[in-house]
Amino acid sequence: MYGAVHMHLPPVHLGILGLVVALGGCAASGSPSPFESSTSGGTPSAPAASSLESSPSAAASSDATPNEATRPVYQNEALATVRVNNLNVRAAAGLSAPVLDDEYGAYAANGKVVLNAGDHVLVISDARWADGLWWLEIANNRVASNAPAVVGFVAAGTPAAPRVEEDNAFCPGAGPSLTALLSLSGVERLGCYSSIPLTFPAFRATLPPDAGLGGACDPGPKPEWLVCDNINYNWVNRDGGTAWEFLLHFDPATGISPTGLTPEGSVNPQLQITGHFNDEGALDCAPNPWDTIEEAAAQVTCRTLFVVEQSTD
């Protein structure tokens, strides 16, 4: 393996098809610092923006040769934890790049994508130097909204004073339950488990009698079985009720029958589900290698989706 128009869906993954449009608005202006003042989110005791980073002297050193001893180094596609509040996610490396717009309302920062202490990111590039700072390209999304991934650049700090620090201690460990997986965002699931096969018990979600299923998959990114979540009803949950908690994806090439939904009042046996994140099919969700952060976000979002290898009663 390689290593985001519902008629009746819960407030979960919004699919990939609108991703490029949604992230295309990242040209809004941001603050001249890699941080912004914010009154919401984060850990109160976390550090604030340093005066050095917000001063003209930082930008003035943009042409200076960076001190390689201060370069932050991360493993390939490492998970990391943000150690400061109000960390802007920008459209490119540098203080003049705009802060990304929060198209899905997932970040409580006046309509901008801003991270706070304790947030987790996936590092998807080596550190690069711009405007006197080291920058990382990262991916992030939120558990509560489960919106498509956002990809952008953050000021990483240095090994001595990290703003973003490699860390996977929050991962639930081998053999996670469905409850454990639901506690993670898509990006966290990808970073914790990559394409490792996972098995857990679950029930088909029950189809309410008033559910208005339908919809169509507009022409767009392929493969459709992976990106067209608005017509994918293979939802499972922990108790067989009507909650649509976790969405399964089935590659038609495998011949595995989709689980679908259970009509209300029908027998609903517990299933054993085996599958993985980071499916090879995600490579077709955007150009590979990608050229833009929108393409990167589309591919990362596809990689966060769970693809079934086996489903048994």
Residue 16: CB atoms within 10 Å? 25
- pLDDT for 214 equals 73
- pLDDT for 246 equals 96
Do the domain assignments include residue 235?
yes
> How many whole angstroms separate alpha carbon 75 and alpha carbon 191?
12
Residues 41-82 have pLDDT tens digits of 333 456 554 333 443 334 434 457 888 999 999 998 999 999
Residues 165-189 have pLDDT tens digits of 999 999 999 999 999 999 999 999 9
Do the domain assignments include residue 241?
yes
Average pLDDT for 139-157: 90
- pLDDT for 48 equals 52
User: Which amino acid would we find at residue 183?
Assistant: S
Residue 250: CB atoms within 10 Å? 21
- pLDDT for 13 equals 39
How many Å from the N-terminal Cα to the C-terminal Cα in the chain?
A: 26
Give the residues across from 199 on adjacent strands: 274
Say whether 309 sits in a helix, a strand or coil. strand
Residue 302 in tokens: 């596809």
Give phi and psi for 59, each to the nearest 5.
-65, -30
Contact 54, 35 (CB under 8 A): yes
> How many whole angstroms separate alpha carbon 227 and alpha carbon 286?
11
Do the domain assignments include residue 280?
yes
Q: In 3D, which of 266, 249, 245 has the Cα closest to residue 258?
A: 249
* 157 CB-near residues (< 8 Å, 6+ apart): 72, 83, 84, 134, 163, 164
Contact 238, 178 (CB under 8 A): yes
Q: Strand runs (DSSP E) across the chain, as ranges?
A: 79-82, 87-88, 114-115, 120-123, 128-130, 133-140, 150-155, 164-166, 198-204, 206-207, 235-237, 246-249, 262-263, 271-276, 306-312
> How many whole angstroms separate alpha carbon 67 and alpha carbon 72?
11
Residues 202-243 have pLDDT tens digits of 999 998 777 777 778 877 657 999 988 888 999 999 999 999
- Kindly give the residue spans of alpha helices, DSSP state H, lying in 183-238: 186-193, 224-227
Do the domain assignments include residue 208?
yes
CA atoms within 13 A on the CB side of 273: 30
> How many whole angstroms separate alpha carbon 131 and alpha carbon 4?
31
Residue 277: CB atoms within 10 Å? 25
* 170 CB-near residues (< 8 Å, 6+ apart): 81, 120, 188
Do the domain assignments include residue 134?
no
Residue 90 in tokens: 């920008």
* 39 CB-near residues (< 8 Å, 6+ apart): none
Do the domain assignments include residue 32?
no
Minimum mean pLDDT range among 107-111, 147-151, 157-161: 107-111
Do the domain assignments include residue 105?
no
Strand 120-123 relative to strand 150-155: parallel, antiparallel, unpaired? unpaired
Do the domain assignments include residue 303?
yes
Residue 196 in tokens: 């490792």
Q: In 3D, which of 308, 311, 77 has the Cα closest to residue 197?
A: 308
- pLDDT for 265 equals 87
Domain assignment of residue 308, given as a range: 178-312
- Could you give the number of structural domains in the chain? 1
